[in-house]
Every structure is written in structure tokens, then in C-alpha cells.
């Protein structure tokens, strides 16, 4: 197809298009440059000049347990794509997003849909996943097909792949700084930690790192007084909260994910476990999660992230205005959403640097700094590990569903997916051959009675 040919598209509004994507519409094409039609809009159609297109995949759950969270990532990624297209696209191409609903099927549907994107749709790259279970289920496919996955979530580390860009925080940028702050005078000199999390990879490994951090030099008077793991989607926290009260911790460190957070905080409020006396610091509760909770249940509670919507900069305020204009004034932004949005631009920067959409060329572009001025601050990719430099910020929940930032690291923190305190001898440097293995570290899944399996 040459530049003089015509294509017909619907003149749907932005919200019409995004609504269709939200119910799983795949914007597919027979070839990279084939025409496509958005159906379902009654507005008049118009003929526009043809623009070459490059296909990318969006791989998120839009139904099921994680739909509330992952649909927001889809919305953020589609906003970035729309902005880039409106600004002329990438290398003269408009981005054609193919949206797949993985239906919260972490180990079965995610691999199936990833295979469709890589093998059938032959996308240039994929933006996707939330849980570590879903990421680990698809990484072997990206390595097999030599695809590229951009993963936006903070996660447990202990992983590197030549086919994955990790644009969220790792524990040395989120968990370890949070512990350092909690035990400091500014953070309340906390000494007794209770760990509670969802029963999957991220909480197990995050707690392994947290335990190693607490057991480190100078931490002799700090202890873990209990822990509890519950299935994803768990709703009955009465026994868990009673156990927390018996243990009498100074702080509850939570890696609970998904809708379970609503029920956990409701039960804390029901049993009068207050943020003033026994605060919770969460790794997976942001502004988007607060929308589903009673303000009285979470006001005063803490969260550790890189990004909060309340960051008071012109760039972040513009980002918030654009997102609400596209998706509704009642919508809010969170750390995973900011990372999902920003990683699309990070990919764009790498493509333009490589002057190619080919995965090998894009990866070669990572050998020197690839950057984007993101809403949360400068986003830079580490060429050694394909992880991002990040700040650590700690926020205290307000009654209006936003956070007051009570701590910010002095500067961006270089990513270390294998912090020495937990993974001695391990390292990743793709500029020097890849992963260096150290001591064998077995991440055990603790049973709630204190044993491991």
C-alpha cells in the first residue's frame, strides 16, 4: 500500500475507541500496512490518506480477579499510543494496538494470548502483565519467539531476561528503602513487623528480601512477629486480623494484591486496628485501589511506590488532565499506570534510536541510556539489566483518595534485581555477557504455621 491509497476509518470519538478496546476488541490487520475499521459507531465515516502502521500488543486482564487493576494499565497504554499517533507516530508509522483480554488466567490464558500476539499477529512489541505469575508464564515464549515484553509493575526482582524491559520498581527501590524509613526516627522507629501477603511469587520473594534486610547489620532489635499468606481474591480476613492483634506489631507490611485489599482494610477497621497505632504499609495499594475502598478504612495508611498522582509538577498535572479527559473525571492515576504509560514512550525512544522496529535493533539501542521525561520524573533504562532507575516515595492516604508524600529518596536509585542482602553473588550485566550466578537461594513458600514448603 503506498501513500496515495485511501483507507476508511470510523470517526469515532476517543472514548468510543477505548470503550471498544475495553471489551476486548482487537484492532487487527492482515499485514502491517493493511487498512482497518473500527466498527460500532454511528458517526459519518471519512476517507483519510493511508498511514503505515506498526502493530503492538496489549496483554492485560479485562475480566476476572485482576480486571480492575489491569484495565487501568490498558487505558494508560492506549492513551500514550493515541498521543504518539496524534504527534505523527513513530518512524512515520502509526501504532496499531492489538488488545488481548487474558481474563486473569495467569498460567493458562496469558501464554495463549501471548503466543497469538507473537506468532499470529507478529507484533513489534508487547506491553503487558501484572502479577509475577503471569509474567513468568509468558517470559519463555518471548525468549522462544525473540519478542520484547515491556512489564510495568513493581515486582520481586530475582529475575532478568534479554527479552523483557522491567519499567516498574524492584525491591532495592521500593521495599528496602521503605524498611529503612520505617525503622528511622522520621518513620516512627518501628521495631515489630507483621508480614501479610497474597499467596504467590511476589509476596514470597518480597518477604524473603524483607526478612534478609531486617536481619542485616545494625538491625538486632528489629523482628518479624508473624506472617500470613492468603489466596488471591481472598475475602475473609477476620482470623488474620485477630492474629495480627495477638502479635502486637508496630507496623503491618502488606503485599496483598488485587480485590482482597478492600476486605483486608475493612476488617482492620471493623476490629479497630487503627493507622495511628498499627499502620499498614502496602506495596500494591495505590490511588486506583483506593477508589474501591471506604475512605475511613484507609485514611492514614501508608504505601511505598515510585509515583503518586499528587506529585506537584506541571508535567504530572498535564498527564492527569489528559487521562481524565480521555477516560472520565472520576478516574485517578497510580504508580503502575504511570509506568504503563511511560514505557510506551520508552519503547518509542528506543525505536527512534534504533531506527527500526526489529527486536534485535531495539535491544542494541538499550546499550546506552534510553530515556523519557515521565510524569513521575526522568525515566532511564539501565543497559546492564533492562530495569529502570526509580525514586522511592512513601505516601499517606488521605480521605479524598489521594496520598500525601511523606518521604522521597534523595535521588533516583539504580535498579538491582539481585540485592546482595538476599541474593549474594548474583548480578546481571547484559553489556558483559548476562547473568552472574552466586549462592543458590531457595525461595520457599512459608505455610501460615511457620513451616515452609
Residue with cell 500496512: 33
Query: Considering the entire predicted model, what is its pTM?
Result: 0.86
Residue 29: burial class (beta carbons within 10 Å; 0-12, 13-18, 19+): middle
Q: At what angle do helices 14-22 and 67-86 cross, to 10 degrees?
A: 140
- Residue 268: closest CA among 291, 257, 288, 252: 252
Predicted confidence pLDDT, tens digits, the chain (453 residues): 443 333 323 333 343 434 334 333 333 332 222 222 222 333 343 445 688 999 999 999 999 988 888 999 999 999 999 999 999 999 999 999 999 999 999 999 999 999 999 999 999 999 999 999 999 999 999 999 999 999 999 999 999 999 999 999 999 999 999 999 999 999 999 999 999 999 989 999 999 999 999 988 888 899 999 999 999 889 999 999 999 999 999 999 999 998 899 999 999 999 999 999 999 999 999 999 999 899 999 999 999 999 999 999 999 999 999 999 999 999 999 999 999 999 999 999 999 999 999 999 999 999 887 999 999 999 999 999 999 999 999 999 999 999 999 999 999 999 999 999 999 999 999 999 899 999 988 886 666 754 333
Residue 9 burial (CB count, 10 A): 15
Q: At what angle do helices 201-214 and 132-145 cross, to 10 degrees?
A: 110
Provide the sign of the torsion angle of the four alpha carbons 41, 43, 44, 48, taken in this order.
Answer: negative
Q: Is 376 within 8 Å of 278 (Cβ atoms)? A: no
Distance from C-alpha of 298 to C-alpha of 399, rounded to nearest angstrom = 8
Distance from C-alpha of 132 to C-alpha of 168, rounded to nearest angstrom = 12
The strand pairing partners of 48, in sequence order, are: 7
In the chain the domains, ranked by start, together with CATH numbers, are: 53-169+311-390 (3.40.50.2300)
Q: Is 60 within 8 Å of 74 (Cβ atoms)? A: yes
Amino acid at each position: 500500500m503506498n501513500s496515495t491509497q485511501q483507507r476508511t476509518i470510523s470517526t469515532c470519538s476517543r472514548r468510543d475507541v477505548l470503550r471498544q478496546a475495553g471489551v476486548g476488541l482487537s484492532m487487527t490487520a492482515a499485514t502491517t500496512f493493511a487498512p482497518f475499521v473500527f466498527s460500532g459507531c454511528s458517526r459519518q465515516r471519512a476517507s483519510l490518506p493511508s498511514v503505515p502502521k506498526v502493530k503492538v500488543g496489549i496483554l492485560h486482564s479485562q475480566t476476572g480477579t485482576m480486571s480492575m487493576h489491569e484495565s487501568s494499565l490498558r487505558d494508560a497504554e492506549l492513551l500514550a499510543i493515541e498521543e504518539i499517533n496524534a504527534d505523527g507516530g513513530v518512524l512515520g508509522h502509526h501504532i496499531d494496538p492489538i488488545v488481548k483480554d487474558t481474563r486473569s488466567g495467569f498460567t493458562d490464558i496469558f501464554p495463549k494470548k501471548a503466543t497469538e500476539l507473537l506468532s499470529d499477529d507478529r507484533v513489534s512489541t508487547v506491553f503487558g502483565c501484572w502479577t509475577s505469575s503471569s509474567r513468568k508464564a509468558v517470559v519463555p515464549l518471548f525468549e522462544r519467539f525473540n519478542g520484547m515484553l515491556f512489564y510495568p509493575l513493581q515486582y520481586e526482582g530475582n529475575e532478568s531476561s534479554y527479552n523483557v524491559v522491567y519499567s516498574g520498581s524492584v525491591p532495592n527501590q521500593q521495599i528496602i528503602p521503605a524498611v529503612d524509613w520505617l525503622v528511622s526516627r522520621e518513620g516512627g522507629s518501628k521495631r515489630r513487623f507483621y508480614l501479610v501477603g497474597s499467596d504467590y511469587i511476589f509476596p514470597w520473594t518480597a518477604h524473603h528480601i524483607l526478612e534478609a534486610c531486617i536481619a542485616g547489620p545494625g538491625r538486632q532489635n528489629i523482628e518479624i512477629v508473624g506472617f500470613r499468606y492468603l489466596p488471591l481474591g481472598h475475602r475473609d480476613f477476620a482470623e488474620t486480623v485477630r492474629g495480627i492483634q495477638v502479635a502486637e506489631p508496630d507496623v503491618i507490611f502488606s503485599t496483598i494484591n488485587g480485590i482482597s485489599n478492600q476486605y483486608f482494610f475493612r476488617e482492620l477497621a471493623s476490629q479497630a486496628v487503627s493507622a495511628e497505632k498499627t499502620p499498614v504499609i502496602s506495596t500494591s495499594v495505590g490511588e486506583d485501589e483506593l477508589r474501591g475502598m471506604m475512605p475511613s478504612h484507609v485514611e492514614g495508611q501508608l504505601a511505598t511506590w515510585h509515583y503518586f498522582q499528587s506529585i506537584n509538577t506541571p508535567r504530572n498535572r498535564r498527564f492527569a488532565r489528559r487521562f481524565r479527559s480521555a477516560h472520565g473525571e472520576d478516574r485517578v492515576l497510580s504508580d503502575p499506570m504511570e509506568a504503563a504509560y511511560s514505557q510506551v514512550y520508552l519503547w518509542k525512544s528506543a525505536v527512534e534510536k534504533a531506527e527500526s522496529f526489529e527486536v534485535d535493533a531495539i535491544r542494541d539501542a538499550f546499550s546506552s541510556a534510553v530515556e523519557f521525561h515521565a510524569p513521575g520524573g526522568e525515566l532511564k533504562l539501565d543497559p546492564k539489566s533492562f530495569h529502570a532507575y526509580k525514586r522511592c516515595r512513601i505516601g499517606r492516604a488521605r480521605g479524598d483518595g489521594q496520598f500525601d508524600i511523606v518521604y522521597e529518596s534523595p535521588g533516583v536509585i539504580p535498579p538491582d534485581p539481585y540485592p546482595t542482602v538476599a541474593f549474594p553473588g548474583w548480578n546481571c550485566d547484559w553489556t558483559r555477557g548476562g547473568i552472574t550466578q552466586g549462592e543458590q537461594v531457595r525461595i520457599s513458600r512459608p505455610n501460615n504455621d511457620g513451616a515452609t514448603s
